[in-house]
Amino acid sequence: MSSTILLAPGRQARPSLATRLREGFHTLLQAEWSRVPPWFAVALGTGILLYFALPMEPSEAWLWLPWPLLAPALWLWRRAPLPGLLLGLAGTVALGFALAVWARASLPPVPDLPRRAVILTGTVDSVERLPGGRRVVLTGARPGEGQPALERSLRLRLKKGDETPVSPGDRLRVRALLRPPPPPPAPGAWDYQRAAFFEGRAGSASALAAVERLEAAPSSPGGSGFAGLRSLLEQRVLAVLGSGATGTVSSAMLTGSQTPIPDEAVAAMRDSGLAHLLSVSGLHVAIVIGLGMSVVRLLVALVPPLALRVDSKSVAAATGLLLGAGYTVLTGSQVPMLRSLAMAALATLAMLLGRRVVSLRALALAAALVLAWQPAALLGPSFQMSFAAVLALIAGWEAMRAPLDRLRGQGEAWRRGLVAVLGLTLTSLLAGLATMPYGLHHFGRLQLYGVVANAVAVPVTSLLVMPAGMLAVLLMPFRLEWLALVPMGWGTEIVLATARRVASWPGAAAIASPIPAWGLLLASFGMLWLCLWRTRWRWAGVPLILLGLFSGPTVPQPDLLVSADARLIAYRSPEGVFLERGSGSNGFARDSWLRDWGEAGFAPLPAEEERVEAGLRCAADHCLLRPRPGAPAIALLRKVKTRRGAAAAPIRMEPWCDSVAVLVSAEPVRGRCRTGRAPLVVDRFSVWRDGAQAVFLGPEGARVVTDRMLRGERPWVPPVPKPRPREAPAQEDEGGTDMAADPAEAPGSPPGSPPGTGQ
């Protein structure tokens, strides 16, 4: 049966909703087609993130995954653009995943370092000055006589007061205590072991005596290679400007050295939003390249016959790029510098080809190059903040170019001055807003007046500090560097004065709850959506950015944290945060917890018979913690001090059966509950096995999250320690615990293990 639909004369059939959506999408895609290429860099980063999100290590067979996707995508690109685009993006995600797998497979495994004092020998790669001493990086280190050389580098902290001359290239011998990279201070915190794995570090060592210099570096005063030159430059700067704030900050900006900057200066620069000037970054590389280009063009212009025959613009660009590359290698090749150098190389190529110099495509290609070389850089604040700032600057200036050109008008002096001021303010504002989510996630701080501080400090750095520093480098062979270092010091003092003034303003550095990883991903995707597209649908990225920025308060915070060595235990209540601190505890873990909780400081847990609030009551041997009415209770058990020579009584589980939900102790908890409900136990043994632990209390009961749960089984995560079997048969104690299974009997217990744990 068929039917015929009759339409009134002059009327046409209305397209279906699906047809209109399809046509609208194709129209939108045509308008945005030129903005598609940067999304391939986003896809590459997505694949890298997927690799690091896995709970276990993938097979190397995944290295072949991208090619079955990318090959047909290239074939379809001209024939069927949309399917080719989608297949190409999927293949690029797979390529990012494969690059991360390749990076892991190309690195040597993490060695099992001896947990005792050894005679350590190695070759100095670099020397860093730190507060209270020096630190050297050793390559080819041997942890003991007759031991094979480590395939990874080792950081050695020299003994305080050791004035033995040490230069890059020297071969040293010293008695030292070795340590692996530290685990995360809390579940979900920054993974230092992962960072050390991809940086090629085996761990660290502390010298127990003065170092012995076995062999001197091949070349004299500064050692060997770029590390020696960097050390020499640092010495010259400090000799002229002194070892105070002016000299150390100038040295840091010029050479990237880790000379100990006074804590007061570091705090002022951090709280004012100028901390990025203390480490050599893309800004410094851009200044060096720009200075080199300007000088070369000036020199060519001064010789008219040469100016007529040579394209000064191209020569200057190539010379500036070479200077930037040398400066990058000299100062350590940090990620922001690599980004700046990659963009400079692309800009030089574009200049030679007559193309647009700075563009989103160039930024995306620079990001792809950095990620291809160092996939793990994607996880660090350096990569994230550097590329986010430049992305916002390019997209922001693209959107504001027309209004600023209209404001400039015919070029009257007052209009040009106004546009210059607005441009400087806009630059600081865009960079500050773009890096805000990453500052909140990694550091838990907001620099509210960073725009003001950068508006003063960045021009001074660009026009005085760095040009004078570059001139000082050129004058050093003639011993005339002081002529340029003195003006450089003047500029540095202006920067420091600005930092101190802005940091002293009320609320300069607001402490805020860090946003979670999913909030950072949401804000990042929103920023990419806003900056990479050009039509009106890009504004859909704004609510995503806002949701990410305000995601911090939505994340439940743990009620109790235990560090990986059980020497720090923190309790959080509505009245504040309290800390139980053992001897030799890690101050860094404490600071990390404060940052994660958005708190300014801890109060010590009360002593015997003190009661701070209804949910906290302490006695000599324990504290009962109940953060909220109706919540499960936690018992924090303390080791009772005894008279000298008397053995402390073991901590038992039996008295707490059925009375608390969680039992926490810095010592091993013995026994078990024969009847009733046994509490969850977080003690010295559990953190030894599974790392730092967080306790959450809710209406449904207690929940313990361990560091090992979140990190899984990866090459940088130490395997679960296994107990060392005893020669005698295992004895069962009164409570029924098999003491042979105690992990404390395993070799290599962490330093500072309690009595009876194998140390």
Predicted local distance difference test score (pLDDT) of residue 224:
55
Question: Which residues does 5 contact at the CB level (< 8 Å), separation at least 6?
Answer: 13
- Give pLDDT, residue 746: 33
Task: Give the C-alpha separation, 247 to 469, whole Å.
Answer: 12
Of residues 753 and 80, the one with the higher pLDDT is 80
Question: What backbone torsions phi and psi does residue 703 show, to the nearest 5 degrees?
Answer: -140, 135
**Which tens digits make up the pLDDT trace of 716-749?**
999 988 766 543 333 333 333 333 333 333 333 3
Alpha carbon 395 to its chain centroid, in Å, reads 25
How, if at all, do strands 662-665 and 634-637 pair?
parallel
Give percent of the chain above pLDDT 70: 86
pLDDT higher for 117 or 581?
Answer: 117
The burial of 562, by beta-carbon neighbours within 10 Å (0-12 exposed, 13-18 middle, 19 or more buried), is given as buried
For 102-113, write each residue's pLDDT tens digit.
999 999 999 999
Measure the CA–CA gap between 182 and 595, rounded to whole angstroms.
18
Dump pLDDT digits (tens) for 475-495. Answer: 888 888 899 999 999 999 999
DSSP for 550-604, please give it: T-GGGSPPPSEEE-TTSSEEEEEETTEEEEEE-TT--HHHHHHHHHHHT-S--EE
Amino acid at 657: C
Give me 575's structure tokens: 């009245």
Beta strand extents in 210-317 (DSSP E only):
212-215
Residue 398, H or E segment: helix 381-408
For residue 21, pLDDT beyond 80: no
pLDDT at 48 over 70: yes
pLDDT in tens, 486-519: 999 999 999 999 999 999 998 888 878 789 999 9
pLDDT (0 to 100) of residue 392: 92
Q: Report d(CA 105, CA 413) in Å as an integer.
A: 60
At residue 151, what are phi and psi to the nearest 5 degrees?
-85, -10
What pLDDT score does 81 carry?
82
pLDDT of residue 686: 92
Task: Give Cα separations from 646 to 641, 643, 650 (angstroms).
Answer: 9, 6, 12
Q: Which DSSP state fits 744?
A: G
Point out which residues pair with 759 in neighbouring strands.
Answer: none
pTM of structure: 0.83
Size of the chain in residues: 759
pLDDT of residue 608: 66
655 CB-side CA count, 13 A: 9
- Two tokens at 479? 């011993």
How many CB atoms are closer than 10 A to CB 121? 20
> What does the H/E/C string look like for 464-528?
HHHHHHHHHHHHHHHCCCHHHHHHHHHHHHHHHHHHHHHHCCCCCEEECCCCCHHHHHHHHHHHH
Look at residue 736 in the predicted model and tell me its pLDDT.
35
Q: What radius of gyration, in Å, describes the C-alpha atoms of the chain?
A: 30
Query: What would the mean pLDDT of 399-427 be, rounded to a whole number?
Result: 79
Per residue, the 3-state secondary structure of 13-44, as one string, reads: CCCCHHHHHHHHHHHHHHHHHHHCCHHHHHHH
Beta strand 651-652 with 212-215: parallel, antiparallel or unpaired?
A: unpaired
Confidence of residue 57 (pLDDT cuts 50, 70, 90): very high
pLDDT at 751 (0 to 100):
34
Report which of 591, 452, 426 is spatially closest to residue 511, judged by C-alpha positions.
Answer: 591
User: How many C-beta atoms lie closer than 10 Å to residue 373's C-beta?
Assistant: 14
| The token pair that represents 560 in the structure block | 């109790």
282 pLDDT higher than 60: yes
**Torsion sign over Cα 175, 181, 183, 189:** positive
Residues 6+ apart with CB under 8 A from 210: 159, 162, 164, 174
Q: Where are the domains of the chain?
A: 34-105, 117-218, 518-554, 560-640+651-718
pLDDT digits (tens, 9 = 90+) for 435-466: 889 988 988 888 888 888 888 888 888 889 98
**Average pLDDT of the chain to the nearest whole number:** 82
Mean pLDDT within 276-285: 72
Q: Is the per-residue pLDDT at 423 higher than 90?
A: no
> What are residue 104's phi and psi, to 5 degrees?
-65, -45
227-246: average pLDDT: 84
Tell me: pLDDT of 45 over 90: yes
What pLDDT shows up at residue 612? 57
Q: Which residue has the higher pLDDT, 332 or 563?
A: 563
CATH fold of 117-218: OB fold (Dihydrolipoamide Acetyltransferase, E2P) (2.40.50)
Contact 742/219 with Cβ under 8 angstroms?
no
- Which of 509, 684, 589 is CA-nearest to residue 189? 589
Q: Are 740 and 727 a contacting pair, CB within 8 Å? A: no
* 149-204 pLDDT per residue, tens: 999 999 999 998 888 888 888 999 999 999 999 999 999 999 999 999 999 999 99
Q: Quick check: 24 pLDDT over 90?
A: no
Query: According to the model, what pLDDT value does residue 287 have?
Result: 76
At residue 645, the pLDDT reads 53
pLDDT tens column, 655-713: 888 888 999 998 888 888 887 788 899 999 999 999 999 999 888 888 999 999 999 99
pLDDT at position 529 over 80: yes
Residue 700, SS3 per DSSP: coil
Phi, psi of 193 (to 5 degrees): -70, -35
pLDDT per residue as tens digits for the range 614-660: 678 888 888 888 887 777 888 998 876 666 655 567 788 888 888 88
